[in-house]
Chains A and B, each alone.
Chain A
Amino acid sequence: MEDYSVIGKRIPRVDGRVKVTGEARFAADYSFPGMLWCKMARSPYAHAKILNIDTSRAEKLPGVKAVVTGKDFHGWKWGWMPKTRDEGPLADDRVRYLAEAVAAVAAVDEETAEEATELIKVDYEELPGVFDPEEAMKEGAPLVYDHVKNNVSWEFHMDFGDVEKAFRESDLVREDRFETGRVITGYLEPPAAVAMWDASGITIWAAKQSPYFVYRHLAACFNLPLNKVRVIQPFIGGGFGGTKNDSLAGDFCACLFSRMTGKPVKFMYNMEEVLKTCRRRHNMIIYNKMGMKKDGAITGMQSRVIADGGGHTAIGPLTMYLTGCMSTLPYKLPNFKHDAYRIFTNNPISAAMRGHGVTHTRFAAEIQMEMMAEELGIDPVAIRLKNAIEAPHETINKVTVHSCGLSEGIKTLAEDPAWKDREKKKGSAPVAHGVGLSGTAYLGGARQRGHQSCGAVVRLCEDGSVDYLTGATDCGQGSDTVLVQVVAEEMGIGVEDVDIKRVDTAMTPCDAGSYGSRVTVLAGEAAQKAARDVRDQLAEFAAEQWGAKPGDIVFRDRQVFVKGSPEKTMPFHKLAQAACYSGSGAVILGRGYSKYGIEVLDFDKGIGNSGTSYSFTSQLSEVDVDLETGFVKATDFVIAHDCGRPLNPINVEAQNQGAAIQALGQTLYEQFKMSEGKTLNPNLVDYKMPLSLDTPDIRVIDILTDDPDGPYGAKEASEGAIVSTPPSVVSAIHDATGIWFKEQPVTPEKIVMALKKKKEKKG
């Protein structure tokens, strides 16, 4: 490894100080004189026709400035693909899930706006609803969209090799049904924005992890050129995919209200609105069939996936794609058939969430593989090492892996005392101790449909300080810090010398967004190239002054010198000043863009790379299971994560820890309780996210593989552990109880019932 001065160091976050002092401003912290508040009126039905909306009483309430309904958007709809545009800013003729927004009010304060929403009279004709995806697929089920047969929102099929032949030639074939839960991303900052529409167009301060989505949506909705839509990025209070990667009723209504009234307009959803109406992870049923030889070699796999999509399509096609295209990692799979169905129901909309699509099918495959290994008497370490891919590798669907730390990770964990001494720690009744293992993969530098390249601009100031402009968003993951490190490293200066300009679509280069673990890999590459562009311009200038070759100019520790002639040296800021003053209007500006993300894949057949590179995460989880109450306490996690090369190790640890605990929530506790489309637990007491008392000690081990397609060898670091945690925890519960649980969350009730059943069987 090269000797870097900034890269690879445990550098504190560049946004740390403003976040611990309370100075960091989030969307809800913005307010302006004369500002109005916007509130939504929401449907009391999960499925109904809107017959008429009478807004007259609301309009007459003192303090109300404007009211809008779905008709005010003239039928405009948006969606992830041109053919899936099925969601309007407000429902105009039909509501498809409970609490879908049907109208909105702008008023002088929040209370008045809220009161006015209750005065809006909507006549509905209630329609029969459908709430179970398998029921919704049957002939004769109520249709969520009249033209969509069997409520199939999206289907995706892959067929490689010959699974039937593979199963015939297997020594063992298993079929199981798995299910993943109904969970939400769980950011604590509710969606909010302040919008202003004046002569210069729309300016909006919005809580978005991918601000260029709403930028395009607003331009399309209001038929404005993109240079009349300015999205300015506040600090973002967590994203995790889904809602903050998309637009909301509030965004469109706040803009329209501002145009109508000439005032700035603000909205902020409350937590009940978040938990009832914002996008959730897809609840998926996975029918999985796997074939295996006596020696543990996997011969083939067939998966049938049914996902509850809710009332609109959103980003669902990509979710379905990811459930299959990533199944060919991280184990050798010569034959694979995949049939995925996303089904419309009258439940809230399902969309992306950290570990997108992959966490579902990998959970099923990983548990099933271990169940089969158990039947064949093969140890959990051996079964994984037997099937693990090694780099370089190409899967049957042409996913190409250039670096892979899976085997090394599993071997490292197998040597860990937590694994080696597991028999000694079994515990005594009523508390049994269990240890589980997993080995998983995730994509980084998402390479999906559409344009995925990132741009960067680096501007040198005459005093040697640097402005770095990026369209990439740090919604908490720490990318601002890593990207500043990249610029500083390339220019031989300190992180303090670089100021990152947060997204302002009027100034920063367009960027696809923060999803698919793409920022470090793609925006990082762009930052690297833009910084090198500035450095090269400076080197040329310095070489001329010193009569040297530009290639011999070295930038390090804020000094510039000529290789081999240490007497020819000057401080970086002096060179910057001289270069900036060197001619009339000397402007030193660097441009860079990423090239990694531009290869095209076959989205219909599931062929090609969905990522630029692939991370590999192996995990040991230890749990205590109370055999009387069914209560599970995760005690220790050890995560061996191959992110290629950690550019900021403390940040990589933090990402792994956070992902693992988010995954622990969905494995053990988190689940929306639903009844006829109604969310019964829309609050943070009854919807149970992990608190500090619930979480284990977590150790993170970096497995270094230096991927060729990442800046300084880096791959993704924020999503791997949300895939590796559920199977390892479920495997640990099996180790403690002898029972395989195939449905998340594995609640105490399920454990008690299963233990009772097991006892009865024995008796």
Chain B
Amino acid sequence: MMESKQIRFVINGHPHTLKVSPWRTLLEMIREDLQLTGTKEGCGQGECGSCTVIMGGKTVNSCLVLAMEADGQEITTIEGLADGEVLHPIQESFVEHAGMQCGFCTPGMIMSAKALLDKNPSPSEKEIREGISGNFCRCTGYTKIIESISAAADVMKGGK
């Protein structure tokens, strides 16, 4: 039987050392051990995207990643986007353009948007649709999410 192991990682800019069991998922570690409940569990099977976080610069479904894989990694969750009281431009844009309704898919959706804009600061509408195609939203029909991401891209480039 595999034993628990101590891992080190940086989450939302803060270094952590944690002992995790081999079967613990990254999602469980984030939600239960670190009490960062902004990341949601929807399907638990890597299909809905509600648990999306950024690890090593890429989005992952944290329900499908083992916590041990976080060893030595840098992770960003929804709690790590705002700078104190100041919202990240993507968050600001989701609020202004009604990019969320129930809000359950929102943390994962915003993480996918962030990873997209980090790589591609000027995405076309089609590229935005592709960038969030791993995230279900049942409330909005996606239109206002796409508008929110597009407007955030403009703000982040310095325009308005």
Contact = CB atoms under 8 A, between A and B. Distances in A.
Interface of A: 12-13, 15-26, 28-29, 31, 185-190, 235-240, 268, 270-271, 475-478, 650-651, 653-654, 657-662, 683-685, 689-693, 695, 697-698
A189 B41 CA distance: 8
A685 B134 CA distance: 11
B141 A698 contact: yes
Nearest to B104: A237
A662 B39 contact: no
B40 A21 contact: no
3 closest Cβ pairs, A-B complex: A22-B38, A476-B102, A237-B104
B44 interface: yes
B98 A12 contact: yes
Contacts of B91: 20-21
A25 B141 contact: no
A23 B38 contact: yes
A654 B146 CA distance: 12
Nearest to A687: B47
Contacts of A237: 40, 102-104
Nearest to A190: B42
Nearest to B132: A692
Interface string B91-103: 1001111101111
B9 interface: no
A445 to B, nearest CB: 21
Given A16-B100, A22-B36, A238 B48 contact: no
A658 B144 CA distance: 10
13 contacts: A16-B100, A17-B87, A22-B78, A187-B104, A188-B42, A188-B137, A236-B102, A238-B102, A657-B143, A657-B144, A692-B128, A692-B129, A692-B137
Interface residues of B, number: 53
Nearest to A31: B32
Contact of A12 (B43, B96, B128, B146): B96
B130 interface: yes
A194 to B, nearest CB: 13
A16 B94 contact: yes
A659 B110 CA distance: 22
B77 interface: yes
A669 to B, nearest CB: 13
B43 A684 contact: yes
B101 A658 contact: yes
A692 B103 contact: no
A20 to B, nearest CB: 4
A658 B139 contact: yes
Contact of B136 (A31, A659, A691): A691
Contacts of B132: 692
Contacts of B133: 691-693
Contact of B42 (A19, A23, A185, A271): A271
A695 B142 contact: yes
Most interface-central of A186, A187, A476, A685 (chain B CB within 10 A):
A476
